[in-house]
């Protein structure tokens, strides 16, 4: 499959009054055209920072890409000389659905104006044609065209999320990044939004990065899954492969903490302990203090990625399971 996006050894820091926060610590990821990948992990793992790095939306005042590369369609996005290219493709070829639609939509413009702006900015349409196209894409996402003159506060959370998706999909982007788009929604609306994204992705062949805490969403919507921990992808592969044969103890813990309707248990099995402080990361494996299989080498060295098979890789010194066939 043709490669659309590659992230190579990406390191990102935030500078705060308390000190330096090491948000990303060597992220490596390749995504092919028309592929869907789920990015999962605890809060603070670096999922949103990865997305903002791709879009060039990291806060300028206190963040810094220390090293690494982000290559989209053969262009290096971290190179300041390509800033014009990034500004041209942002919202056009790369779009993002943000976690909170109320904060990502402008309260002083109608929803129709905001979606139409995308067409006017990137498709160079006139005001009248842009409004017509905005009505079409809103209806496609389940918002009736006559509501184009309404403001964001006049819609429910689920409807606002649909508007955000409409704006993101307006130019049929090559890459859509969805940052926990269903977190604030009730279960019924979640299902509708996910079905909508799946349908639109199938129609337009858009590449999807789904950032979520919900492993059920990943299994339903994605081809591959990447598990993040302490600013690094510690396991990655095809969804069925990783879910059926988790190798890294953290992935095992995530899957083991989910309820199983086939088993009757009194309590779920959570992962013990807390994620390492990103301002003071340990020398070796960042999961070592929480790992039931921790060895001496885990405390001294950070594990490199090992290839388990052509569908699966992980960063772990663990050998008791052998290689997955």
pLDDT above 80 (res 98): yes
pLDDT band of 323, cuts 50, 70, 90:
very low
Could you give the dihedral angle defined by the CA atoms of residues 217, 7, 59 and 210, in that order, rounded to the nearest 10 degrees? -10
Q: Per-residue pLDDT averaged across 288-314, rounded?
A: 93
pLDDT at 104 (0 to 100): 82
Whole-number Å distance between alpha carbons of 58 and 66: 12
pLDDT band of 59, cuts 50, 70, 90:
very high
pLDDT at 266 (0 to 100): 72
Give the strands of the sheet with 3-15, arranged side by side. 20-32, 3-15, 63-72, 75-76
Q: Per-residue pLDDT averaged across 193-207, rounded?
A: 80
Q: Per-residue pLDDT averaged across 248-254, rounded?
A: 93
Q: Where are the domains of the chain?
A: 3-34+48-88+221-315
Work out the mean pLDDT of the chain and round it to a whole number. Answer: 89
pLDDT above 60 (res 189): yes
Lowest mean pLDDT among 90-99, 245-254, 268-277: 268-277
pLDDT band of 91, cuts 50, 70, 90:
confident
| Contact criterion met (CB below 8 Å) for 120 and 127 | yes
Could you give the dihedral angle defined by the CA atoms of residues 39, 275, 28 and 199, in that order, rounded to the nearest 10 degrees? 0
Which CATH number fits the domain 3-34+48-88+221-315, given the four candidates 3.40.50.300, 3.40.50.970, 3.40.50.460, 3.40.50.1110?
A: 3.40.50.300
The vertex-230 CA angle with 229 and 233, nearest 5°, equals 45
Higher pLDDT, 261 or 74: 74
Q: How do residues 165-184 score in pLDDT, each as one tens digit?
A: 888 888 889 999 999 887 76
238 Cβ contact list (under 8 Å, min separation 6):
223, 224, 225, 311, 312
Helices (H), the chain: 47-55, 83-89, 101-104, 111-122, 127-140, 157-169, 187-204, 215-221, 239-244, 249-256, 296-300
Residue owning tokens 């858009």: 206
Helices (H), 212-316: 215-221, 239-244, 249-256, 296-300
pLDDT above 50 (res 325): no
């Amino acid at each position: 499959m043709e490669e659309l996006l590659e992230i190579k050894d990406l390191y990102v820091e935030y500078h705060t009054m308390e000190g330096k926060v090491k948000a990303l610590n060597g992220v490596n990821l390749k995504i092919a055209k028309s592929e869907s990948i789920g990015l999962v992990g605890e809060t603070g793992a670096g999922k949103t920072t990865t997305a903002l790095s791709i879009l060039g939306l990291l806060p300028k005042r206190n963040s810094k890409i220390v090293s690494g590369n982000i290559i989209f369609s053969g262009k290096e996005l971290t190179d300041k000389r390509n800033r014009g290219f990034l500004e041209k493709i942002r919202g056009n070829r790369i779009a993002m659905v943000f976690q909170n639609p109320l904060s990502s939509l402008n309260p002083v413009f109608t929803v129709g104006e905001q979606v139409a702006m995308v067409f006017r900015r990137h498709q160079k349409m006139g005001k009248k044609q842009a409004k017509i196209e905005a009505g079409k894409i809103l209806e496609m996402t389940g918002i009736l065209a006559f509501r184009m003159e309404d403001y964001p506060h006049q819609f429910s959370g689920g409807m606002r999320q649909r508007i955000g998706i409409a704006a993101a999909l307006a130019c049929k982007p090559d890459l859509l990044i969805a940052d926990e788009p269903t977190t604030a929604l009730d279960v019924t609306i979640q299902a509708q939004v996910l079905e909508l994204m799946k349908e639109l992705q199938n129609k337009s062949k858009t590449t999807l990065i789904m950032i979520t805490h919900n492993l059920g969403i990943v299994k339903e919507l994605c081809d591959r899954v990447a598990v993040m921990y302490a600013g690094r992808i510690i396991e990655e592969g095809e969804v069925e492969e990783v879910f059926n044969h988790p190798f890294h103890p953290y992935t095992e813990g995530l899957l083991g903490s989910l309820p199983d309707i086939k088993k009757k248990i009194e309590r779920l099995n959570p992962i013990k302990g807390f994620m390492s402080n990103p301002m003071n990361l340990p020398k070796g494996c960042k999961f070592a203090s929480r790992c039931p299989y921790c060895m001496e080498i885990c405390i001294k060295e950070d594990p490199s990625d090992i290839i388990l098979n052509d569908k699966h890789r992980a960063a772990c010194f663990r050998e008791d399971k052998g290689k997955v066939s």
